[in-house]
Amino acid sequence: MEYLPAPYDVARRLVDLAFGGVIDDTYSGTLWEHLWASTRRVLQGFALAAAVAVPLGVVMGRSRTAFRLLEPTINLIRPIPVTAWAPLSLLIIGFGDQSTIFLVFLASVFAILLNTIAGVREVPERLVEAAAMLGTRPARTLYKVVLPAAVPSIIGGLRIALGLAWVILVVGETVGISTGLGALITQAREQSRTDLIVAVMIVIGLAGFLADRLLMLLVRLIAGRRPLIN
C-alpha cells in the first residue's frame, strides 16, 4: 500500500499531464501528444481487423465449405495470447507503429470474426428463402437480408474488439516506441512514478469508454430509425 499514490497526487498529475503548470517536469502538458499517437494506432489496427473479419465472417457464415476449411486454423491461432506474438512481431516487422498496429489487429480480429459468423449463421433460413421466392438475386439477398439481420452480432463483436484494442495497445507500445500511452506507462514504471502510472491508466479507461460511445453513436447515425441495436 505504501507504493500506491494518494488520490490527490494522481489528480494533480492528471491536470499537469493535460495542461502543464503544476509539476512542470518532462511529462507536463504531453498528454494530447501521447493520446493522439495511441488513438491513431488503435484506429488503424481496429479498422484493419474490421475490414478483414466482417467480409470473412459473412463468407464463413454462409458457406459450409469455407467454414470447414478455415475454422480449424482460426481456432488454432485464436488461443495464442497476443503477448506471445509481441516478440515475433518485433523480429518480423521491427520496432515502431507497424508492430503495435499488428498486435492491435490480432487482438481485435477474432472477436469481430466469431461474432460475425454467429450472427450470419443465426439468420432464419426462411428469410433467405422468402427473398429467393420473390426473385431476389443471391448477392442482393446477402446485402438486403443477411447483413441487416446479422448487424446486432457484428456490432457486439466490434465493441468487444475495440475494448481489447485498448488493452493490447499498452503491450504494443512498451518496446521501441517513445510516444503513446503504453510508452508513457513504461517510462513511469522505470522511474517508479506510480502517480503517473495510475493517471495514464485512468486516461486509457476514459479513452476506451469514449471510443465505445463514439462507435455506438456512429452506428446509430448510420442505422437511423432501423432497429439494428438496442
43-72: per-residue pLDDT in tens?
A: 999 999 999 999 999 889 888 899 899 999
Predicted pLDDT at 212: 93
- At 127-139, the pLDDT tens digits run 666 666 666 666 6
Q: Do 14 and 205 touch, CB atoms closer than 8 A?
A: no
Helix (H) / strand (E) containing 90: helix 82-92
Predicted pLDDT at 205: 93
Nearest CA-CA partner of 61 in 118, 131, 104 = 118
Predicted pLDDT at 5: 81
Q: Do 54 and 110 touch, CB atoms closer than 8 A?
A: no
Q: Look up the pTM and report it.
A: 0.87
Predicted pLDDT at 225: 61
Which segments within 24-154 are labelled E, that is strand? none
Q: Do 181 and 200 touch, CB atoms closer than 8 A?
A: yes
Identify the segments of the chain with pLDDT beneath 70: 1-2, 124-125, 127-144, 223-230
Predicted pLDDT at 134: 62
Locate cell 439494428: which residue? 228
Which segments within 60-140 are labelled E, that is strand? none
Please enumerate in sequence order all residues whose Cβ is within 8 A of that of 223, keeping only pairs 6 or more positions apart, or say none: 151, 229
Domain ranges (residues) in the chain: 15-223
Predicted pLDDT at 159: 93
Q: What percent of the chain has pLDDT over 90?
A: 33
* CATH class of residue range 15-223: mainly alpha
Nearest CA-CA partner of 178 in 78, 47, 37 = 37
Task: For helices 97-121 and 31-62, give the axis angle rounded to 10 degrees.
Answer: 40
Predicted pLDDT at 50: 94
Predicted pLDDT at 230: 44
